Amino acid sequence: MVIVVVAGGTMLSLAVLMSLILGWANRRFHVEEDPRVARVESVLPQANCGACGCLGCREFAEAVVKGEVPVDGCPVGGAAVAQAIAEILGVKVEKRAPRWAVVHCGAECEQRLKRLPYYGAEPTCAAAHLVAGVQGCSYGCLGFGDCERACPFDAIHIVNGLAVVDYEKCTGCGKCVEACPRNIIELVTFSTDPLMIVACANRDAGRDVRAVCKVGCIACGICQKVAPEIFAVRDNLSVIDYQKHPAKDYALLDEAARKCPTKCLVYRGRRAAGVPGKEKPAQAGAV
């Protein structure tokens, strides 16, 4: 009985001692949190998507208060959240162009040649990408929706076998970019809206492109002849210098689009003409 009492007393003494030590340590090493962190966190969308480069909204709030990330670093919240954060921190928001996803492929199912049915157990782009012969073009969109499933904002969908971005919903989080095994989705700064893109990623010779796709870039160089300061042909593929993309006068872009024999020069963005994925290149200059 004495042993039990002694043991119990000892454990009680240790418990009291440890609680005193922990209480002292809590007061001694306590770090006051900036109250602005909680206020910033309260205006964030709580998507915890990681598009800002932080692990979640809480980490972003801490980083923005410390000045480690810009106040407009949350692509999901957009301008409204950036303004709210700026008011909390007492700073001004510098207006920046949005970054949205573009798909460098414009071929719908009927425009792809040498396409075969895929009967794999897992109908995903990641799986089909590993199988030779699913479609003639080894660069283009496979259309199984990996990007659609990855998007937390319902901003990209498969339409007739082709990934199409809904620019009213796109936040530039980059999840679709990570999900695409063919690396044909890119985040682009839309310095103007609409923005012209090359809807192709095929770098094979022109005759080989024609053999597998009706709307692929054949590196004819017509766009470069029309506007050499904007277009260039590199590795059998037309590329656009977005630093020189005109903001208002679309005349040269429209001319290049009209003369493109495969019509792979298209406009993208919220103000692009027509239904998403069906933009008419020559009409996008009317903004």
* Residue ranges per structural domain of the chain: 35-89, 99-283
Q: How many CA atoms lie within 13 A of 13 on its CB side?
A: 6
Question: What pLDDT is attached to residue 116?
Answer: 74
Element (H, E) at 232: strand 231-234
Count CB neighbours of 83 within 10 A.
Answer: 16
Tokens of residue 220, six digits: 């004819």
> Is 59 strand, coil or helix?
helix
For the domain made up of 35-89, the CATH class stated in words is mainly alpha
Question: What pLDDT is attached to residue 202?
Answer: 97
Question: What pLDDT is attached to residue 287?
Answer: 27
Q: Side chain identity at 181, as an amino acid letter?
A: P
- Whose CA is closest to 176, among 188, 160, 192, 194? 188
Give the C-alpha distances (Å, rounded to integers) separating 273 from 42, 112, 276, 281: 37, 24, 8, 8
Question: What pLDDT is attached to residue 23?
Answer: 75
Element (H, E) at 103: strand 99-103
Question: What pLDDT is attached to residue 31?
Answer: 63
Question: What pLDDT is attached to residue 76?
Answer: 83
Tokens of residue 272, six digits: 């692009």
Question: What pLDDT is attached to residue 51?
Answer: 80
Question: What pLDDT is attached to residue 286?
Answer: 32
What is the pairing mode between strands 156-159 and 195-198? unpaired
Per-10-residue mean pLDDT for the chain, 287 residues long?
Answer: 71 79 70 81 86 86 89 85 89 86 95 79 85 86 95 94 95 93 95 95 96 96 96 97 88 95 96 52 36
CATH number for the domain running over 99-283: 3.30.70.20
Classify each residue of 126-156 as buried b or exposed e, where b means 16 or more C-beta atoms within 10 Å of its C-beta: ebbbeeeebbbbebbbbbbbbbbebbebebb
What is the pairing mode between strands 162-165 and 156-159? antiparallel
Question: What pLDDT is attached to residue 278?
Answer: 39
Give the phi and the psi of residue 194 in degrees, each rounded to 5.
-80, 165
pTM of the predicted protein model: 0.76
